[in-house]
Amino acid sequence: MPTLLLALVLAVIPADAALRAGAAVADITPQEWPVRVIGGFTLVLANSAHDPLHTRALVLENNGTKVAIAVVDSCYVKRPTLDRARQLASQRTGIPASHILISATHSHSAPPSIAEPGNAMEQRYVDRLATQTAEAIIQANARLQPATAAFGSRPVPEELFNRRWFMRPGSIAPNPYGETKDVVKMNPGAGSPDLQHPSGTTDPEFSIVSIRSAAGKPIALLANYSLHYVGGVPGNQLSADYFGEFAAQTAARIAPDDPSFVAMLTNGTSGDVNNNNFLHPRPRAEPFARIRAVGAKMATHAAELSATLTYTDALPLRVADRELPLAFRKPTPEQLAFARQALAEPDEKKLPLRAKSYATRAIALHEGPATADVRLQAIRIGNLGIAAIPCEVFTEIGLTIKELSPLRPTFTIELANGHYGYLPTPRHYSLGGYETWLGTNNLEPQASVKITRTILDLLREVAR
């Protein structure tokens, strides 16, 4: 080949440019009080925050491709609010909206991310949540600098327990629709003689992506762990749970004198996993004690891992984004009739536990849309794959994605780009239990199969 022609051919083959990275934090703590606390079934009002709530953001760029990952201290955030934040950030940064992943941590001691109709104060908070989340991404993008990155993982199994248990036949109460078909129970009594064995497993892998400047200064650390939340927060206070504690403790270990360093912990596939050992229960802890303990432990692992990795700036970035139409579940005629009767019944003691709450959900699903456009996403950072699913995902799904992904390693961020309730497998769906009840689980029974197939397609797309 002539020398000039060879030079022209080489000129149009893009070489991976050096990685750039930036990170930032925006405060999303309420400014008006009291606020509702979501994560439970009863009205709880908080008058203060034990620790601040934040949105933490990381922006990566290589060879003209930008990716943003933001993590919000919230129980969940519905897609319209996240889409608004995504569009605001995209307009200010030029990052394509499809290249922005925003997830919630799943703190059960956070304010609502959806305002009750007519509640102006709550709407002001939801507006602030969207704008501050966008601001975190905007600021992270403004701080882009030459960087290196590395990723690694280690097993941390001792903090994870499957919370769905097979129970002694006849020991499970009727569900909120008066049905007696559950064969497993969520969060059974610790040490109960009715316990038989867990219905699922856990994913012990704790994964990190560590980012440093070209000069070796820590910029950010993105972690992933499949633990629902820890809890132990008094009802009259807000808290970022162990996600916030992890961020603070990791910063104290890796960059104690650098307020610009950002650590963030994403929730893996933990829809059926929590921090409670039902077979051998721990002594009751003081408020925040378990949050501090688990947060400190994971921060120690993060700091140790980050110090052992080999960093590089040659990490290609790829993103694939797709909307998957899925059917919303609808109540059966019997469930709908029961729901209407429950709402009309003045004496709640005559009804199954939480019957009125689920009756409202059943009617909303009955009157609501037939389908949901579920946004799914896959991100490639070097040989690392990140999947994003807008549900509380059962651990078995995450393990399947890890096993079948063409990228090694791979982890899944749940509650990403929206919230559609729990995502059990068809097997778990057939076992019943809280996570499968209509109104807790909102998507068709085959949703997990369709979502898993689509996520694997997206991972294969970014792996090419």
pLDDT in single tens digits along all 464 residues of the chain: 443 333 333 333 344 579 999 999 999 999 999 999 998 888 999 999 999 999 999 999 999 999 999 999 999 999 999 999 999 999 999 999 999 999 999 999 999 999 999 999 999 999 999 999 999 999 999 999 999 999 999 999 999 999 999 999 999 999 999 999 999 999 998 889 999 999 999 999 999 999 999 999 999 999 999 999 999 999 999 999 999 999 999 999 999 999 999 999 999 999 999 999 999 999 999 999 999 999 999 999 999 999 999 999 999 999 999 999 999 999 999 999 999 999 999 999 999 999 999 999 999 999 999 999 999 999 999 999 999 999 999 999 999 999 999 999 999 999 999 999 999 999 999 999 999 999 999 999 999 999 999 999 999 999 99
Q: What is the pLDDT of residue 40?
A: 84
In a domain, 178, yes or no: no
- Give yes or no: residues 275 and 349 share one domain: no
Position 194 in a domain: no
- pLDDT score at 39: 82
Domain contains 345: yes
- Domain contains 180: no
pLDDT of residue 191: 87
Cα 18 to Cα 4, 47, 141, 241, 407, distances in angstroms: 27, 47, 16, 36, 21
Q: Is residue 210 domain-shared with residue 251, that is, in the same domain?
A: yes
Per-residue pLDDT, 8: 33
From the centroid of its chain, how far is CA 277?
A: 22
294 and 151 in a common domain = yes
pLDDT value of position 190:
87
Intra-chain end-to-end CA distance of the chain, in Å? 28
Distance CA 159, CA 277 (A): 9
The count of structural domains within the chain is 2
What are the respective helix, strand and coil percentages of the chain, to the nearest 5? Answer: 35, 30, 40
Residue 349 and residue 259 share a domain: no
pLDDT of residue 13: 36
Q: What's the pLDDT score for residue 304?
A: 98
Residue at 245 is within a domain: yes
Whether residues 109 and 212 share a domain: the answer is yes
Q: Are strands 164-167 and 184-186 parallel, antiparallel or unpaired?
A: antiparallel
Q: How far apart are CA 177 and CA 445, in angstroms?
A: 18
Enter the pTM of the model: 0.95
The parent domain of residue 60 ranges over 20-161+199-317
Angle (CA) 62 66 71, round 5°: 125
Residue 3: the pLDDT is 39
271 plus 341 within the same structural domain? no
Residue 435 domain-assigned (yes or no): no
Contact (CB, 8 A) for 45 and 236? yes
Partners of 441 in the β-ladder: 421, 438
Instruction: Give yes or no for a contact between 272 and 324, defined as CB atoms under 8 angstroms apart.
Output: no
Rounded to 5 degrees, φ, ψ at 56 are: -115, 135
